[in-house]
Structure 1
Amino acid sequence: MNRVLEINTTTREIWLKLKNIFLNNKTARAGHINQQFSNLTLTSCSSLDDYCQKLKELAKQLGDVGQPVLESRLVTQLVQGLPPEYAIAGALINQLSPTWDNTPTMLNHEEMHIKNQARQSTSSTVLATTTEPPDSRGPSSSNQGKGGFSSNRGGWGYQGRASSKMIASSKALATYRIGVKDIIFL
């Protein structure tokens, strides 16, 4: 306030001094906001919605300091800040050039797809066992009774038993018969 208020100063002079101070800081502010805008990523935000909101707010702040952000630049920056698991959605967005309003919706669908894939991959553990009797040529030397890999009838199979903990902890159990082997999806 000491920079603006002086003895015998008119309101017009005060206004001009304030305007000058603001305009001198405008370029520095614009540079700082532009850097924040360019460096913002989805991983630095709490959610996809938070990421989109922060980008939109920074774009508005850039407009306030005389550097408006075009919608196409806003969408491009949104895609550039996405992590690798969004690569396909990002490429599609770049190709289609959707509006800002449609882009977050497309990414929300992709986010749901990524979460579903992660959920499915963690609940699908595969265990292979043999259902045929041991090879008639006799037991293998070092793996007898220990549950190890051995060759039988021209193929490799696991000889042993699945632990009861593995089967008991499975969420879904489906057995498919393939030739003489069983594959159990846990």
Structure 2
Amino acid sequence: GVNTCWTLIFDASEDAVGGALYRCKGSTSDIDTEDLKDPAKSSLVGVFSKALDVHQRGWAVYEKEIYSVLTGMRKWYRLLVATTKPTTKGDPMAVPKILILTDSMVCMYRWRDFKLPESPLSSVKSRRFLGWCETVASWQALPYVIKHCKGMSNDFADLLSRWVSRPSTSTRPSTDDEESTMGAPPYKKP
């Protein structure tokens, strides 16, 4: 609707990343985490919790936080594109219809800028960021705004980032098909 927006919350723990997608009444400038708890103002649409592999668990905290946003945006990208009008980056008339909330200031600023380290060939981290930048480049037309929320008010995303009961011991990256289903059995066609 005209006066609705998508709100995404994300968090990372030592062992996993998690997030949630809400449909909210109001504009992105007015929504905060308290509104997400009010059923008259928001509806929970989806959640995810994804275990980090042994290599990902060694990342810096801000990398895990950025990865949580990246994972959630990948998960809901098609829905967000289909339900929001793409804009030209920097268009002053564009009204953001997607709100991203994170409790990490470093993640928030890195996500806004998404700059590569000096030499993209110098390290594994640089190559990882290069891949992430390539993914994020296609999202630049989405009408989103990213805001900071206090860690204590990001409790649901924090729970989702700790939901995984045991860390993955795999050394290979997991796929979207391997995300936690929150204990629900996998769907099988009859």
Q: Structure 2 length normalisation: TM-score? A: 0.22
Bigger helix share: 1
